[in-house]
Structure 1
């Protein structure tokens, strides 16, 4: 009883209770009135992006510039944890953990689908950009656009949030909280319990809902794959089984801790990603991939500032609002807590190493992934071997992946389809593991620097997050229920946008006005 009592004392009730009530209320509303939830949150989401799209774009550009300056600055030698801090993992495993926690199912789901959607103008993405759909120009333009959406800008957000979190946690010996990252800017106000709790609740709520929608999206991808590849139709039992399996994976892994759980999952996932990338590059249209990706990079760089400063007026709602700004809102929603997880695993590394592993390397990996997977899908479409555009129009935005896999050369689809099904669930579990661990730390107090939160907290949040995804997908109308909580997540991300802005100012003050602690 003494141990249990001691563990209960570590709960931050000011964060735990509001979070639990808000998330539970959202789930109940989604079950009872899913159409109302979707309508309400969609309207707010549209309003936020139409009126603040310019702000998202400026923040994304500032993030990119700031992380670049920090990379080449004289503060790159500062070691996280102090001069004598020693890293406990190899460089390769560290990168595997950083990569696996950040990409979730996005690369797998949209590596094929997003370039094809642009290429075919499926939802009107090309209506305002002066590119003719279904042409070679549309193909290289599509690659350029996905390079922009998935490249250096989004990872700069994760990196900056992680950088200030790591510095404040390990070097300044502050608590594991988002409020602590704002202390250089807000001073004593960041230590005020009420202010700190409000900041942490807002940011944590946004990422819990974002993660739940991500898990739900992953379940949708798997259910679609089972239908397309094996003829299994979506049933409530299937949704619950897959959701429960994923929840068990990441909750049990989180319970085991970083060393025994997450490191193993991340290592397996990263090796599978490397294998799939190399396999498709070798067996696919290699020279087409190299040529089209090079041209795509030219399009990307040529339009970089045009796309980067477009508040919707240039590209139009179908392209800028529903793709780029939607992406930015989700990345911003994730950034504060994902950054805290990246901080937890960065002990003993220098700031320059931190930026390289969390910004440059994942961005380069994303560019290569979209070059290979996106390039191959565009080749199949242009050569007439497979009409992915029509498949997506008929079956939805994530359906192209499975038709693509079934048309791989040498009948590789027989092996790759089940592998991707497992990898999708695995990716959801790995991403959820990292966030669950961080949320548990956020809802705890009196946890020594460098140690993890009590295991029961990780179990509570793992089960709750998994339950949201299962309930919204199985009982909230399938993809419609997931849409509702996805819009809700991005609405929460709108609130986090202002917290993230304060983090940027806090970074500037810490490294360019104050004297950093080494």
Structure 2
């Protein structure tokens, strides 16, 4: 019975595509890095503006949906309560959406902006504006636009699964109102495979960044050499942990890891805020929020269009950071959207949009505001030279060195490493869960087959393992940008399909009876009856 549930064409094609990428990177690492660098330059220089426009468009589209009648649609029965409590729901969507990357970039991203600031500014210690942007841009990149990109795919997936009662969780299924019968053809398979390929690329980036961070922390605690052997062991151990969690299931495994994650994160942030430069952290974070509000559109659309024409060397900041991040969020969007949809039963569309964008943005704000500004304070006060460690030993060493400046350093490094492992496990048990769902014809009782979950859990470690041996942050960034490009157009189709479906259902009379659409549907249906009665009266 289990084998009949698997969508074998999607399953096999996806696995073959992954192998076709992993094997060449392992066998020909130098040539692979060169090809990826060339593709990176072409994609970023030629199509970078599309990513920026996409981010803004999705952000304002979701605000419109939230305040429209479509936002009042409930994802479940009329009297149904949310499946998960709000804290548990917020913790799961946050943990799945950002992974250990928030610990990595939240602690050290400011240092890259400090040395390579935006808007053509000079990277000097005396320039106050440079320092302000260093503490601000990370909060912007992990803010409302990022979470809006995540939220968009969640809406049609949740709507079809909980309102139309379709037992299929696939991107191609959400496009059925536009594609019609084509969703069941090779075109639908291609769309699902593109989603899987993008997710694997994004997962590769996250795991290949998170694993060296954990490895460096283990080395700091144990004295073992931080080499590729230790990193490989760390990656395999993390894979085993999230495989077990995925096998146990959504409520028993993923929810418990997310709750642990949330509790440890709150403790870490509170400890750093209280024992660190509290006033500096509070004031700098507040200042950063003001800068973002004042410069939101400038930051969202900056592309350096005049640098070459005026004879200046472009900084490459938009391509290296904003475009990279929007592409990274994009490749993760179908996965996170599927997961948000799965845990949002009993909530309205408006609650899903607002909760995802608000809770996600606040969580990232706290990490960047507290962890990032603690590192910035160490640099500015002369307490510890973070920049030198970053440039000479790399980001993982710089991050662990920052944590070592806290009281009870050994305990805090151990907590930081453990939290990184749990973050990774929470993200990737969710990933394997969703990949298993996408490669099945239908999902029984809301849970994909266990062997399918396990298969994708271990498959997820193949690409990051290859990328780790290939090396280079630029290579990791490019993997996300390339994987995300086709999804720009798919996201547009998803938005169109969602509005077409929900609006049509809200005004439907006899063609479709959405029992779970409440309030608006009843009012509109009553209005239709009144109009018909008035029209009949006039005709008589």
TM-score, normalised via structure 1 length: 0.92
Deviates further, 39-48 or 96-105: 39-48
Q: Distance in 1 between matches of 2:452 and 2:74?
A: 30
Label 1:348 to 1:147 Cα distance change in 2 as closer, same or farther (>3 A). Answer: same
What's the offset of the Cα at 1:246?
A: 0.4
Q: Which position in structure 2 is the counterpart of 1:487?
A: 478
Label 1:412 to 1:135 Cα distance change in 2 as closer, same or farther (>3 A). Answer: farther
Q: Which position in structure 1 is the counterpart of 2:343?
A: 345
Deviates further, 426-435 or 493-502: 493-502
**Could you give the per-residue CA deviations for residues 365-421 of structure 1, whole angstroms, max 9, x where no partner exists?**
21122111122211111111011111111122343211111111xx23221101111
Q: Distance in 1 between matches of 2:258 and 2:126?
A: 38
Q: Which position in structure 2 is the counterpart of 1:80?
A: 75
Q: Distance in 2 between matches of 1:34 and 1:302?
A: 44
| Residues 120, 315 of structure 2: 8 Å contact kept | no
3-state secondary structure, aligned to 1:88: coil
Match of 1:266 among 258, 264, 269: 258
Match of 2:177 among 163, 184, 189: 184
Label 1:38 to 1:318 Cα distance change in 2 as closer, same or farther (>3 A). Answer: same
What's the offset of the Cα at 1:10?
A: 1.2
Q: How many residues align?
A: 502
What's the offset of the Cα at 1:278?
A: 1.2
Q: Which position in structure 2 is the counterpart of 1:357?
A: 355
Q: Write the mapping of 1:327-346 to structure 2, written as runs, cut at 5 A.
A: 327-346=325-344
Q: Write the mapping of 1:33-432 to structure 2, written as runs, cut at 5 A.
A: 33-119=28-114, 121=115, 124-126=116-118, 128-129=120-121, 132-133=124-125, 135-174=127-166, 175-189=168-182, 191-227=183-219, 231-313=223-305, 316-408=314-406, 411-432=407-428
**Could you give the per-residue CA deviations for residues 217-268 of structure 1, whole angstroms, max 9, x where no partner exists?**
1111122334456543233431232111101111111011101110111110
Match of 1:7 among 2, 9, 20: 2
Please list every run of 5 or more consecutive structure 2 residues that lacks an aligned counterpart in the other structure.
Answer: 308-313, 508-513, 518-540
Q: Distance in 2 between matches of 1:136 and 1:495?
A: 40
What's the offset of the Cα at 1:39?
A: 1.5
3-state secondary structure, aligned to 1:445: coil
| Residues 229, 402 of structure 1: 8 Å contact kept | no
| Residues 60, 154 of structure 1: 8 Å contact kept | yes
3-state secondary structure, aligned to 1:239: helix
Q: Which position in structure 2 is the counterpart of 1:23?
A: 18
Label 1:162 to 1:127 Cα distance change in 2 as closer, same or farther (>3 A). Answer: closer
Q: Distance in 1 between matches of 2:177 and 2:442?
A: 22
Label 1:52 to 1:312 Cα distance change in 2 as closer, same or farther (>3 A). Answer: farther
| Residues 200, 463 of structure 2: 8 Å contact kept | no
**Could you give the per-residue CA deviations for residues 54-80 of structure 1, whole angstroms, max 9, x where no partner exists?**
111111001111122222223333111
Q: Distance in 1 between matches of 2:437 and 2:340?
A: 13
RMSD of aligned alpha carbons: 2.1
**Could you give the per-residue CA deviations for residues 434-455 of structure 1, whole angstroms, max 9, x where no partner exists?**
111000000011333x521110
What's the offset of the Cα at 1:157?
A: 0.6
What's the offset of the Cα at 1:163?
A: 1.4
Q: Distance in 2 between matches of 1:51 and 1:210?
A: 21
Q: Distance in 2 between matches of 1:314 and 1:164?
A: 40
Q: Distance in 2 between matches of 1:447 and 1:385?
A: 55
Deviates further, 504-513 or 395-404: 504-513
Q: Which position in structure 2 is the counterpart of 1:3?
A: none
3-state secondary structure, aligned to 2:395: coil
What's the offset of the Cα at 1:489?
A: 3.9
What's the offset of the Cα at 1:188?
A: 3.5
Q: Distance in 2 between matches of 1:328 and 1:404?
A: 28
Q: Distance in 2 between matches of 1:107 and 1:314?
A: 33
3-state secondary structure, aligned to 2:373: helix
Deviates further, 224-233 or 85-94: 224-233
Larger Rg: 2
**Could you give the per-residue CA deviations for residues 484-516 of structure 1, whole angstroms, max 9, x where no partner exists?**
465334312112222122212223434556637
Q: Distance in 2 between matches of 1:233 and 1:56?
A: 40
Is 1:499 equivalent to 2:494 in the alignment? no
| Residues 250, 432 of structure 1: 8 Å contact kept | yes
Q: Distance in 2 between matches of 1:433 and 1:162?
A: 18
Label 1:235 to 1:147 Cα distance change in 2 as closer, same or farther (>3 A). Answer: closer
Q: Distance in 2 between matches of 1:399 and 1:236?
A: 15
Label 1:14 to 1:300 Cα distance change in 2 as closer, same or farther (>3 A). Answer: same
Label 1:26 to 1:381 Cα distance change in 2 as closer, same or farther (>3 A). Answer: same
Q: Distance in 2 between matches of 1:249 and 1:61?
A: 37
Label 1:261 to 1:306 Cα distance change in 2 as closer, same or farther (>3 A). Answer: same
| Residues 213, 485 of structure 1: 8 Å contact kept | yes
